[in-house]
Amino acid sequence: MLEEEEVVEKPEKRWYLPIFTVRNPHKPDRDILVWDAAALLSEVTPNDFLLKGPDIFVSFLQIMYNFRMRAIGVSTHYVRDLNAKKHADKFPSAAKANQRSHYEDDCIDSCHSEEEAITLAKEVREVHERGGFHMRKWLSTAKSKVAPLQPLSILRLELQSAVTGARLTRSIIAQYEIDFEEWYLRTDSKTVLAWLNEDPRRYEQYVMLRIAEICKFTEVKSGDGYQAN
């Protein structure tokens, strides 16, 4: 907020932040005000002079990995974790969950047992209540399966499954709080294993691209599996 003398002051140089409005086609009666700090002038923008703060963003994928790491999943809607560090000594698990297992305003985590999940939920709620915040919408999990929306042949489904396994493995190794010495991915598709043992360029584009992607990260080690490098 500018002081009154700053408003009436007329410096030799003045800098203006451009402003414009945008409209959502789904909300035609509402204009959204945009302060354009990315506007370019003499090859620079106001954003170029801003100091970069710490990166406190936790990716949604990492949050979901933590959510599915253990047998019991815990999720709640909350108001931001103001007291996590303050109460970390007494509630270390809750503090860790507040700092590493939140996506936007949702806490998503998992535990090894129902008892551990209940304890974590109580501690997280206690930490927030000490700061005047209130937890709500508690949920716990049941395992589920998903299938592609677009129909695929059995062979393509098996190949896509192998690709998904390789991608998840690579991502999990990078994100999980566990040190793994070796990873093994297995498939009962003899066709996929045969493709993995051949030059991908021999096959049609759909198969070629996916086999090439798998081979970048894995190598066939046995008759029914492929190992992460």
pLDDT tens digits, residue range 132-165?
777 777 777 676 555 556 677 888 889 998 998 8
Q: Which distant-in-sequence residues (6+ apart) come within 8 Å of 221 by Cβ?
A: 184, 227
Beta-bridge partners for 185:
226
Host H or E run for residue 102:
strand 102-103
Residue 209 banded pLDDT, cuts 50, 70, 90: very high
pTM: 0.43
| Topology given in CATH for the domain delimited by 60-140 | Alpha-Beta Plaits (3.30.70)
Residue 208 banded pLDDT, cuts 50, 70, 90: very high
Beta-bridge partners for 227:
184, 219
List the one residue out of 54, 56, 55, 63 whose CA is nearest residue 102: 63
Q: Is 81 helix (H, G, I), strand (E, B) or coil?
A: coil
The full set of domain ranges for the chain reads 4-49, 60-140, 154-228
